[in-house]
A and B are shown apart, each in its own frame.
Chain A
Amino acid sequence: MTELKSGGRDTSLAATKSVRRRDSSRRRAGLAGYAFVSGYVVFLAAFGIFPTLYAFYLALTNDHGQFVGLGQFAKVIQDFRFAPAFANILIYLVMWLVVLVVLTVVVAVILRSRIKPGLSAVFRFLFYIPGALAGVASVLVWLFMLAPGLSPVGGLLNAMGFTQFAQVIAPGNLPVIFVLIAFWTGAGGWIVVMYGALNNIPDEILEAARMDGAGPWKSAWHIQIPMIRKWIAYMTILAFAAGTQLFVEPQRLQSASLGRLDPTWSPNQLAYVLAFQFGDFNGAAAVSIFLLLIGLVGAGILVTRSGLFKVDGE
């Protein structure tokens, strides 16, 4: 800039002109930016921010709308169903995230680098198909798979000592069952996404690594996996968030078990029972706030550690 100014009058004029033009185009882009995000912001306000604030309002008041401070939180923590529900979900989350991250990444690497592209496409498709059966459909399928009389792997279940459906869905087995269902419906989609991310790594980089004598596993560990780190973090965040809100699976299993299972196995079920069986909306909101805070803390850690927002700095 200073160099330009020290030059002739014409150059400096041209420079200020171009600066001014860039400024006005930036301002114009600013206004347009607001127009582009407006529709989304309305939805965000109505169905993201408002309900969140409303949950906080409910959690800080009683059913007469009087402010009770942290009373609702104290009440639900002391509830005998609170600690078990959160312990259950924690066990489930640890198992689920480890299985998901390790297997999807390993499988995506294998499908990307160790298999012919045509065959790899077939595998991706077959792994993905169960994703179409999310929700109640997946629970139904797994009820069939876990009923020793009906299951195609009934022999395996018998060998493991399960002859009755009720034995399979014993409380101790529930986290494993939910991991099975979640992996069955969710992993295929993530494998496809991870594969896409791996596909995005330029061939030249892998070629260069091969020239330097790196084997396929070595270049997977040192090049491919670090380069899709962002997407792994992204997957972990979303899987974590989805995991904390487990509701359909335990709820359906509970009713299929003829009520032998705990109706408040997961925190969301607890909130549901509080709200719709006891009419305690304030207590239910307090439970929701706990779930929300766990989700936010987890997300915060991953966001700051993974470099997910690097794009933002540019």
Chain B
Amino acid sequence: MTSAPLGRTARNGRATRFVSTLVIVLILGLLLVFFVLPVIWVLLAPTKTADELVHDWPLAFGSFSNIGLAWSHLVSFQNGVLFVWLKNSAIYSVGSLVLTLLTSVPAGYALALTKFRGRKVLLTITLLVMIMPSASLVLPLFLELNLFGLIGTAWSIILPFSFFPFGVYLVYIYFATSLPSEMLEAARIDGASEWRVFTSIALPLAKPVVALVAFFSFVGNWNNFFLPYLVLPSSDQFPIQVGLNQLLSSTPSFNPVAGAGLNITSPELALSVIIAILPVLIVFLFSQRALVSGMLAGATKG
């Protein structure tokens, strides 16, 4: 009497478990192909000639000599302007990153753990500006920079990039959830100055969120296109993203009219994509630990 229904539920349980495993495998499998296939294709593309790209099996490996060929075509494009673009991107990204960290970490800390008149207003404005489409400000920013004579200088990129409310909000959330204000209060009663409270209690705990802000800021700066596209007039000031755009418009790959006679075809374009993203990829490898385990886990440990 009792064993039959028990057996049925066990079988039902096994069946649902099978279905749910199947669903999981299907979701993860499809997403894996979706995310990884384009990456593999791009990595393999420079090993092939433009012709092989069309006719060979998409995931076939061409030859190393083709990479060399694509590389020399790419380097000879406008006398090695590629390296200038990379250097510019590095200057813009790192410069803004430093300014972002110097301003956003103390600000996020103060918003979370000190009390001052206007704190709530500042927090609300921060959230609103953070959510506000930043591209909607690019045009007024352009006119503002023009007003101050900064158009065409490195500062016209570095200074606006340094304003990173998202970073302030991340630091704020981190401190508000991970650091009990009683701890700071105790240090204050012991006579520690506000600066000491910040540097000796808050900062050591802030490592994961500093890494996180640095990561988002660097990646955002490196990949930013709209502002440099508008404010930088000459090719030797372009960051790599705007440079890629110039490469794209000088290639006959998608646009047979443009770039006829130039050596920039699909393999060169794919190689330029790989070169352009390498720094971000490297940064990610180093931030991954902070990103994956540190981000919110640090909050409960602290």
With known contacts A21-B189, A258-B255, A281-B139, A144–B41 Cβ distance under 8 A: yes
Question: A25 to chain B: which residues have CB within 8 Å?
Answer: 185, 188-189
Contact residues, A169-200 vs B (CB, 8 A): 184, 188, 192-193, 195-197, 199-200
- A285, B140: Cβ atoms closer than 8 Å: yes
Question: A145 to chain B: which residues have CB within 8 Å?
Answer: 38, 41
Contact residues, B96-133 vs A (CB, 8 A): 99, 102-104, 106-107, 109-112, 114-117, 119-120, 122-123, 125-133
With known contacts A37-B110, A46-B163, A145-B41, A196–B296 Cβ distance under 8 A: yes
- B136, A137: Cβ atoms closer than 8 Å: no
- A55, B114: Cβ atoms closer than 8 Å: no
- B120, A54: Cβ atoms closer than 8 Å: no
A311 to B172, CA, bound (A): 10
Question: A242 to chain B: which residues have CB within 8 Å?
Answer: 133
- A137, B241: Cβ atoms closer than 8 Å: yes
From A50, A153, A165, A216, contact of B254 by CB (8 A): A165
- B273, A30: Cβ atoms closer than 8 Å: no
Question: B6 to chain A: which residues have CB within 8 Å?
Answer: none
From B31, B122, B176, contact of A37 by CB (8 A): B122
Shortest distance in angstroms between B302's beta carbon and chain A's nearest beta carbon?
A: 12
Q: Mark B245-260, 1 if CB is under 8 A from A, else 0.
A: 1001100011101000
From A237, A281, A296, contact of B143 by CB (8 A): A281
Kindly state whether residue A299 has any CB partner on chain B within 8 Å: yes
A91 to B132, CA, bound (A): 19
- B296, A200: Cβ atoms closer than 8 Å: yes
With known contacts A40-B103, A51-B137, A296–B297 Cβ distance under 8 A: no
- B129, A48: Cβ atoms closer than 8 Å: yes
- A217, B20: Cβ atoms closer than 8 Å: yes
Shortest distance in angstroms between B127's beta carbon and chain A's nearest beta carbon?
A: 7
Interface residue stretch chosen among A1-9, A73-81, A245-253: A245-253
Kindly state whether residue A82 has any CB partner on chain B within 8 Å: no
Interface residue stretch chosen among B67-75, B76-84, B222-230: B222-230
From A30, A134, A144, A238, contact of B131 by CB (8 A): A238
- A202, B248: Cβ atoms closer than 8 Å: no
Please tell me the size bucket of the interface on B: 35 or more
With known contacts A196-B297, A252-B245, A255-B249, A144–B139 Cβ distance under 8 A: no
State how many residues of chain A have any CB contact under 8 Å with chain B. Answer: 110
From B37, B130, B143, contact of A54 by CB (8 A): B143
A303 to B299, CA, bound (A): 22
Contact residues, B192-210 vs A (CB, 8 A): 194-195, 198
- A126, B219: Cβ atoms closer than 8 Å: no
With known contacts A132-B219, A140-B269, A55–B291 Cβ distance under 8 A: no
- A29, B136: Cβ atoms closer than 8 Å: no
- B159, A47: Cβ atoms closer than 8 Å: yes
- B111, A134: Cβ atoms closer than 8 Å: no
Q: From A142, which residue of chain B is reached at the shortest CB distance?
A: B38
Question: B20 to chain A: which residues have CB within 8 Å?
Answer: 216-217
Q: Mark B285-302, 1 if CB is under 8 A from A, else 0.
A: 000100111011101100
- B59, A152: Cβ atoms closer than 8 Å: yes
Question: A311 to chain B: which residues have CB within 8 Å?
Answer: 112, 173, 176-177
Other A-B pairs beyond A28-B194, A247-B226, A296-B131, 6, CB < 8 Å = A42-B103, A52-B137, A238-B130, A244-B136, A299-B132, A311-B173
Measured CB to CB, the residues of A under 8 A from B are: 21, 25-26, 28-37, 39-44, 46-52, 54-55, 58, 103, 106-107, 110, 114-115, 121, 123-137, 140-145, 147, 149-154, 165, 184, 188, 192-193, 195-197, 199-200, 202, 216-217, 237-238, 240-242, 244-245, 247-248, 252, 255-256, 258, 268, 271-272, 275-276, 281, 284-285, 288-289, 291-292, 295-296, 298-299, 303, 311-312, 314
Q: 25 pairs across A/B with beta carbons < 8 Å?
A: A28-B188, A28-B194, A30-B114, A30-B117, A32-B195, A34-B110, A37-B111, A37-B116, A39-B103, A48-B129, A121-B292, A135-B241, A136-B244, A137-B244, A140-B269, A143-B253, A151-B58, A152-B58, A200-B300, A237-B131, A244-B136, A245-B136, A247-B226, A299-B128, A311-B176
Which 3 residue pairs spanning A and B have beta carbons closest together? A32-B194, A152-B58, A33-B116
Measured CB to CB, the residues of B under 8 A from A are: 20, 24, 27-28, 31-32, 34-39, 41-42, 45, 53-54, 58-59, 99, 102-104, 106-107, 109-112, 114-117, 119-120, 122-123, 125-137, 139-141, 143-144, 159-160, 162-163, 165-166, 168, 173, 176-177, 185, 188-189, 194-195, 198, 219, 223-226, 230, 241-242, 244-245, 248-249, 253-255, 257, 266, 269-270, 273, 276-277, 280-281, 284, 288, 291-293, 295-297, 299-300
